[in-house]
Amino acid sequence: MNECQALLISAPSSGSGKTSVTAAIARWQRRLGRRVRVFKTGPDYLDPMILERASGHPVYQLDLFMGGLDHCRALLAEAAASADLILVEGVMGLFDGDPSSADLAAAFGLPVLAVIDASAMAQTFAALATGLQRFRADVSVCGVVANRVGSAAHGKMVAQGLPPDLPLVAALPRDESLSLPERHLGLVQALELPELDAQLDAWADQFARALEPDFEFPRVSFEGAAERFAGALAEADPQALAGRRIAVAQDAAFSFIYPANLDCLRALGAELLMFSPLQGQALPDCDALWLPGGYPELHAQTLRQHPSFFADLRQHLTAGRPLLAECGGMLCLLDQLLDVDGQPHAMAGVMPGSARMQSRLAALGLQAIDWPEGPLRGHSFHYSTLGTPLPASATAHNPNGGRTAEALYQQGSLRASYIHHYFASNPAAVAAFFKGQP
């Protein structure tokens, strides 16, 4: 059994400041020489990029739907074996979704630090905080952070009425200069923010100044095997991909990559070859290729100017080698991609059809889909619409009953979808695809 200090940082709603508070604590504690591990609840790529920079360690997902209870338990047990502090950033509001951040907190006994945007309230702050604390008996809200307070006097007002077992941990002043830029999928990627480290240090300084001196991080015991894929790989040959070279595009256009997906492929014996199309790097000599999601619409011209990328994709598919394209990775394979201004960009032309970016959300939700090799889980989040003559070989469903139901397209050795798949949900199926076995 491993024990260390731990917190789940949640809020009543999205936009309350969970990411900045989590990053501030991580950077502050890391500067004190402590070993910090950060996790993100639910499917997300952009927040983890910020949190990785803050903590100095890759940020993994804890998702009870995509990964399952045992997988999440193994990730936490592994982290607790070497960390001084574990931070878990929640998703949406504390009780939103199924599974919710509250479900995760209850499953692993994670104390909750609630971040509440206090900018438009005073004494009602305590009523909201107390409601969060008392809503579920199996969830422990141990403290609250008042974010975006207008003054010291405002900070004192929001603390009025808080019960003794729900202390105000910090009152953080409103400071627009410390906010991060956003685009249609959320925060701008960490690699696009040259001043990010300075901003993280500023967040850490602000939190350390505001922290109540008697606050102590609670301790939590994490038990369970630390082999994160032990259960998931039980039905798969642990060397199913031994000797297979899998190329993975990775740069600002193809950046939506779960660290657990890379770990899963390596655990199956694959050799991973990372390359950057935006830097003009050629497709490595490989047996299979993964084009993850990202922002190809922002880099369409650069992708077109790559000396061989589109031709390499055609040659790869002509040779019958597996290619998995997810969301943005799929868009770059189409005949045409129209940006949000309606400007057309010619793409690789290896998958018939076109896509159009739009200013409003097109799809969002967890997804479960049946591959020919077996069922997989993942999620969808995009601002584009797709038109293709290819028939869907399978259609996903949302476990929460939402409208999002993404199609899976197959053409020869190509498999494409808007779904961002979580490989640990079925390593055997993933291995069979990348090995080229139907």
Q: How many helices (H) and strands (E) does the chain have?
A: 12, 24
The phi, psi pair for 271, rounded to 5°, reads -100, 125
Summarised one tens digit per residue, pLDDT across range 336-347 is: 999 888 999 999
Over the range 287-313, which residues count as b (16 or more CB within 10 Å of their CB) and which as e? bbbbbbbbbbbbbbebbeebeebbebb
DSSP for 259-275, please give it: HHHHHHHHHTTPEEEEE
The phi, psi pair for 87, rounded to 5°, reads -120, 135
The phi, psi pair for 341, rounded to 5°, reads -90, 0
Whether the pLDDT of residue 227 is over 80: the answer is no
Q: What's the pLDDT score for residue 177?
A: 61
The answer to whether residue 318 sits within a structural domain is yes
What sign does the CA torsion over 145, 150, 156, 159 have? negative
Cα separation, 399 vs 79, whole angstroms: 29
What average pLDDT does the chain have?
Answer: 91
The answer to whether residue 228 sits within a structural domain is no
* Residues 206 and 241 reside in one and the same domain: no
Segment 302-318 mean pLDDT: 96
DSSP class of 218: P
Segment 90-112 mean pLDDT: 96
Q: What's the pLDDT score for residue 193?
A: 56
* Residues 201 and 288 reside in one and the same domain: no
Summarised one tens digit per residue, pLDDT across range 248-275 is: 999 999 999 999 999 999 999 999 999 9
Cα separation, 339 vs 359, whole angstroms: 10
Q: What's the pLDDT score for residue 236?
A: 73
Query: pLDDT band at 359, cuts 50/70/90?
Result: confident
Segment 304-313 mean pLDDT: 95
Cα separation, 73 vs 229, whole angstroms: 11
The answer to whether residue 96 sits within a structural domain is yes
Cis peptide, bond prior to residue 99, ω within 30 of zero: yes
* Residues 166 and 27 reside in one and the same domain: yes
Cα separation, 180 vs 378, whole angstroms: 27
Q: What's the pLDDT score for residue 2?
A: 81
Cα separation, 395 vs 384, whole angstroms: 18
Query: How many structural domains compose the chain?
Result: 2
3-state secondary structure of 404: coil
* Residues 156 and 247 reside in one and the same domain: no
Segment 169-185 mean pLDDT: 69
Is residue 297 within 8 A of residue 346, CB to CB? The reply is: no
Q: What's the pLDDT score for residue 191?
A: 47
The answer to whether residue 229 sits within a structural domain is no
CATH number at residue 405: 3.40.50.880
Tokens of 282: 């050629």
Cα separation, 160 vs 121, whole angstroms: 12
* Residues 8 and 153 reside in one and the same domain: yes
Instruction: State the first-to-last Cα distance of the chain, in angstroms, to the nearest integer.
Output: 41
What sign does the CA torsion over 25, 5, 67, 432 have? positive
Q: Which helix (H) or strand (E) element contains residue 49? A: helix 46-55
The answer to whether residue 143 sits within a structural domain is yes
Q: What's the pLDDT score for residue 185?
A: 46
Query: pLDDT band at 223, cuts 50/70/90?
Result: confident
Q: What's the pLDDT score for residue 188?
A: 52
* Residues 27 and 113 reside in one and the same domain: yes
Select from 222, 246, 279 the last residue of a domain: 222
Is residue 372 within 8 A of residue 436, CB to CB? The reply is: no
Higher local confidence (pLDDT), 47 or 37 = 37
Q: What's the pLDDT score for residue 183?
A: 40
Q: Is 401 left (phi over 0), alpha (psi -120 to 50) or beta?
A: left
* Residues 183 and 139 reside in one and the same domain: yes
The answer to whether residue 231 sits within a structural domain is no
Residue type at position 290:
W
Select from 199, 222, 245 the last residue of a domain: 222
Query: pLDDT band at 44, cuts 50/70/90?
Result: confident
Tokens of 211: 């922290």
In the block, tokens 């983890």 appear at 48
Cα separation, 141 vs 131, whole angstroms: 10
Cα separation, 176 vs 156, whole angstroms: 21
The answer to whether residue 230 sits within a structural domain is no
Over the range 339-361, which residues count as b (16 or more CB within 10 Å of their CB) and which as e? eeeeeebebbebbebbbbbeeee
Q: Which positions are annotated as active-site residues?
A: 327
Classify burial at 403, counting beta carbons within 10 Å of its beta carbon; exposed 0-12, middle 13-18, buried 19 or more. Answer: exposed
Residues whose CB is less than 8 angstroms from the CB of residue 2 and which lie 6 or more positions away in sequence, other chains included:
77, 80, 81, 221, 222, 223
Cα separation, 186 vs 293, whole angstroms: 14
Cα separation, 396 vs 20, whole angstroms: 33
Cα separation, 66 vs 238, whole angstroms: 20
Domain with 39, as residue range(s), is 2-222
Cα separation, 200 vs 25, whole angstroms: 10
pTM of the model: 0.93
* Residues 424 and 358 reside in one and the same domain: yes
* Residues 168 and 250 reside in one and the same domain: no
Segment 191-203 mean pLDDT: 77
The answer to whether residue 199 sits within a structural domain is yes
Whether the pLDDT of residue 190 is over 50: the answer is no
Segment 77-81 mean pLDDT: 92
